[in-house]
Amino acid sequence: MFKILRKFDIFSIEPRFYIFNQSRVSSKTGTLLTLIQFLISTLMIVFTFETYFNSENFMTSFTQFTMQYYEYNQSEIPFFISIFDYNEQPVPLILLEKYLKFDVEYFSLLNITKPNIKINLFNLQLEKCNLTTNLRKYSHLVKEIINIDNYLCLPQTERDLKILGTFGDYKGFSQIKIKISKCLNTTQNNNICFDIENINKFIKNSLIVWGTIDYEIDHTIPEDPFVAKVITEGHYMTTQNLKSLKLKRKKISYTSDMGIFFNP
C-alpha cells in the first residue's frame, strides 16, 4: 500500500544519474508531506465552494469602490432637534426661544480645482417640524416614536440644498452647521430673553436631542433592501465648554443577484 502512495510523492528527487535503473527516488518524508498538502488543498477547495454556494455563510472579505464622492439633497434625510429637561420632558418651543438662539449656516465650496472658485454661504432659520412638510416621506415612522411638535427642522423652502463630498475634498464639498448660543437681547431681537442666571440654570439642567432617519439593510428583500428607521441621540448641555457634534452621512450601493444563485 505504501509503495503505491509513494508514487504520488511530489517532493521526490530526480537525480541526473539513475540508481538501479530507477528514474526517481521517493522517501517516506516526501510522501507524508505530499499527503498533508493534498489534504489541506482539498479542505480549502471544499470550504471555498461550500461558502460560495451557501448564502447563509457567504462572506465578502474585501471590497472597495473607487467612487467615493457622494451627493444628496438635504430634504432626502431630514434632521430635527429639540431640548429636553432631565425629567425627559420637552421644552415648549415658545419658551425655548427665550433661552437659546439657533443659527443655521449653509456653506459650500465647489470646483476648487478651477480658477473661478464658487463659494456659497448664507444663513437659514429653523422652523417648527411638520409631518406633512418636513417629514412627509417618513411621517408614518416618526409619529409612532416621538412627538414631532416639540422639534425644530430645517426649512423646506430650501429643498435644493446639496450635501456633497467630504470636508476638504478637492472636488468640492458642502455642509450645514447649526450653532446654539444663549439668547441675547438686541435691538433686532423681537423676543424678550430670560435673564442670564435663568438661562445658565436652564442649560445646566437640559439635554439637546437630535434625530434623523437612518437605514438598515434587510437581505430578505433584495429588490429594496433599505429599511428606514428613526434614530435619536441626546447630549448634556454646558455653559462653560464648547461642544461640537458632527453628523456624517454615507451612501451605500447594494448589489444582488436577485436570488439566482444565493437564497435570501
Query: Rounded distance, CA 70 to CA 59, Å?
Result: 26
56-70, 102-116, 132-146, 245-259 — which is least confidently predicted? 56-70
pLDDT in tens, 173-215: 888 889 998 988 876 666 688 999 999 999 989 999 998 888 8
pLDDT band at 21 (very low <50, low <70, confident <90, very high): low
3-state helix, strand, coil in the chain (%, to 5): 25, 30, 50
User: So what's the pLDDT on residue 254?
Assistant: 76
- Domains in the chain: boundaries: 2-53, 71-236
User: So what's the pLDDT on residue 70?
Assistant: 63
User: So what's the pLDDT on residue 57?
Assistant: 45
Q: In the numeric block, which cell numbers belong to residue 59?
A: 462572506
Q: Which residue has the higher pLDDT, 19 or 87?
A: 87
- Start-to-end CA distance of the chain, whole Å, equals 48
User: So what's the pLDDT on residue 87?
Assistant: 84
In terms of Cβ atoms closer than 10 Å to its own Cβ (0-12, 13-18, 19+), residue 82 is buried
Q: What is the mean pLDDT of residues 57-78?
A: 56
Query: Rounded distance, CA 212 to CA 78, Å?
Result: 6
83 has a pLDDT exceeding 90? yes
pLDDT band at 253 (very low <50, low <70, confident <90, very high): confident
User: So what's the pLDDT on residue 244?
Assistant: 81
Length of the chain counted residue by residue: 264
User: So what's the pLDDT on residue 189?
Assistant: 61
User: So what's the pLDDT on residue 22?
Assistant: 61
258 has a pLDDT exceeding 80? no
pLDDT in tens, 85-114: 888 889 998 899 899 999 999 888 876 555
Instruction: Name the residue among 212, 209, 213 with its Cα closest to residue 235.
Output: 209
Helices (H), 145-250: 196-204
